[in-house]
């Protein structure tokens, strides 16, 4: 039985990856940080099958303990302060968790279990003010947020530990991926949740920032498979994971409101409070390398993804209201 340690197990990706690896017969250990109110919402259906280890990415000693206890064949580092907007108000914390957290995890592996394979959750946010389109593995980084800068550190320290210590360490440069388990602050979920609430008479307007930003949005359930595939290769490498299609926030809003039979212009209000100090205007990934080398392809289209999320939110409120 293969053993895995997942950081960020309570998050969107952690929950889909844990599900996927349990189905493959892995013994799954999840690093879980202490919180005053326990949040197992995303993993409540598989909670009993996961062995939780208390720890924090900012605390190297807790990661050493977690690696000693779990003796993992594979480590997936998905934990992060992952919300870009908050990285301007919490830049130091973001660096400690999102950048140095990756270093701490690599150090723990180097010291305790050098043959463990390591996956780092790198991000298309590293491309920021893009210097070429579409963005691929060789596209230079130009991060536009403290979060993006922290992810660039996490990315390069992963490459460096691979080259310095011969660790099997890979970075997945994942473009935006969403699901009904997406956090409510992120724009897709904020929109699908609001469309459902407005349809049911629970909300009257939706306040948003930049409607012109473009993102390459895919389904999280598809993307965790690419993470696993990277760690099954003969040699460690880095891969872009994306759909190869881009849409504006306006397209997203239109798709969600159309699905509930409403005209979005009647409800959406632009609010400067949701504008960012520096914006990433356009993300569009080139997933050719992932297709060629991993045999990976996205299955869920943008339209089906947004409808899946709206339907989930309608059901959630329909059942409780």
231 is a contact residue toward ligand NAP (CB under 6 A): no
CB–CB of 76/30 below 8 Å? no
Direct distance between the N- and C-terminal alpha carbons of the chain, in angstroms, rounded to an integer: 44
Minimum Å gap between C-beta 275 and ligand NAP is 20
**Minimal distance in Å, beta carbon 57 to ligand G4F?**
14
- Cβ neighbors of 237 (< 8 A, separation 6 or more) are 170, 230, 293
- Sole binder of ligand G4F in the list 18, 106, 249, 284 (CB under 6 A): 249
Is residue 79 close enough to count as binding ligand NAP by CB under 6 A?
yes
215 binds, among ligand G4F, ligand NAP, none (CB under 5 to 8 A by kind): ligand G4F
Task: State the binding string over 2-41 for ligand G4F (x if CB under 6 A, else -).
Answer: ----------------------------------------
DSSP 134: S
Q: Is 78 in the site for ligand NAP (CB under 6 A)?
A: yes
Q: Which is nearer to ligand NAP, 158 or 199 (CB)?
A: 158
C-beta closer to ligand G4F: residue 112 or 240: 240
List the single partner that 249 binds among ligand G4F, ligand NAP, none, CB under 5 to 8 Å by kind.
ligand G4F
11 binds, among ligand G4F, ligand NAP, none (CB under 5 to 8 A by kind): ligand NAP
Binding mask 262-301 for ligand NAP (x = CB under 6 A): ----------------------------------------
Tell me which long-range contacts 256-260 makes (C-beta under 8 A, separation of at least 24). Answer: 256/191, 256/192, 256/195, 256/306, 256/309, 256/310, 257/195, 259/195, 259/306, 259/307, 259/310, 259/311, 260/195, 260/196, 260/198, 260/199, 260/310, 260/314
Examine the residue annotation and report whether 123 is marked as an active-site residue of this protein.
yes
DSSP designation for 44? T
Confirm whether 267 is a catalytic residue. Answer: no
Q: Is 93 a residue of the active site?
A: no
What sign does the CA torsion over 98, 99, 101, 105 have? positive
Contact in structure between 6 and 76 (CB atoms under 8 Å): yes
Extended beta strands in the chain, E state: 3-7, 27-32, 50-54, 74-77, 117-123, 169-174, 177-178, 206-208, 214-215, 218-219, 239-241, 247-248, 268-270
Query: Which span (86-94, 131-139, 165-173, 205-213) binds ligand G4F, by CB under 6 A?
Result: 205-213
Residue 203 engages ligand G4F in binding (rule: CB under 6 A): no
How many whole angstroms separate alpha carbon 16 and alpha carbon 186?
A: 18
- Residue 8 backbone class (left: φ over 0; alpha: ψ -120 to 50; beta: rest): left
Binding at 57: pick from ligand G4F, ligand NAP, none (beta carbon under 5-8 Å per type): ligand NAP
Of 92-151, binders to ligand G4F (CB under 6 A) are 123-125
- Catalytic sites, residue numbers: 123, 125, 147
Contacts to ligand G4F by CB under 6 A: 82, 84-85, 123-125, 175-176, 185-187, 190, 208-210, 213, 215, 249, 274, 276, 279-280, 283
């Amino acid at each position: 039985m293969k053993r895995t340690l997942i950081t960020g197990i309570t998050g969107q990706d952690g929950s889909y990856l844990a599900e996927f690896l349990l189905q493959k017969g892995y013994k799954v250990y999840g690093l879980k940080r202490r919180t005053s109110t326990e949040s197992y919402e995303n993993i409540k259906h598989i909670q009993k099958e996961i062995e939780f280890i208390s720890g924090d990415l900012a605390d190297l000693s807790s990661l050493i303990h977690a690696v000693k206890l779990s003796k993992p064949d594979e480590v997936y580092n998905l934990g992060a302060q992952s919300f870009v907007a908050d990285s301007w108000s919490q830049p130091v914390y973001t660096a400690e968790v999102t950048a140095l957290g990756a270093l701490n995890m690599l150090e723990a592996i180097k010291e305790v279990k050098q043959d463990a394979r390591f996956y780092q959750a790198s991000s298309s946010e590293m491309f920021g003010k893009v210097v070429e389109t579409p963005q691929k593995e060789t596209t230079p980084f130009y991060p536009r947020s403290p979060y993006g800068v922290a992810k660039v550190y996490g990315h390069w320290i992963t490459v460096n530990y691979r080259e310095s210590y011969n660790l099997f360490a890979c970075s997945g440069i994942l473009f935006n991926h969403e699901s009904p388990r997406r956090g409510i602050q992120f724009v897709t979920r904020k929109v699908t949740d609001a469309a459902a609430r407005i349809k049911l008479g629970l909300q009257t307007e939706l306040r948003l920032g930049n409607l012109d930003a473009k993102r390459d949005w895919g389904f999280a359930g598809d993307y965790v498979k690419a993470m696993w595939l990277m760690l099954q290769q003969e040699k460690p490498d880095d891969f872009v994971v994306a759909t190869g299609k881009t849409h504006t926030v306006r397209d997203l809003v239109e798709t969600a409101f159309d699905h509930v039979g409403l005209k979005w212009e009647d409800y959406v209000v632009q609010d400067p409070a949701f504008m960012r100090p520096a914006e990433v205007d356009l993300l569009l990934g080139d997933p050719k390398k992932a297709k060629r080398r991993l045999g990976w392809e996205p299955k869920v289209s943008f339209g089906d993804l947004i409808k899946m999320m709206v339907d989930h939110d309608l059901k959630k409120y329909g059942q409780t209201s």
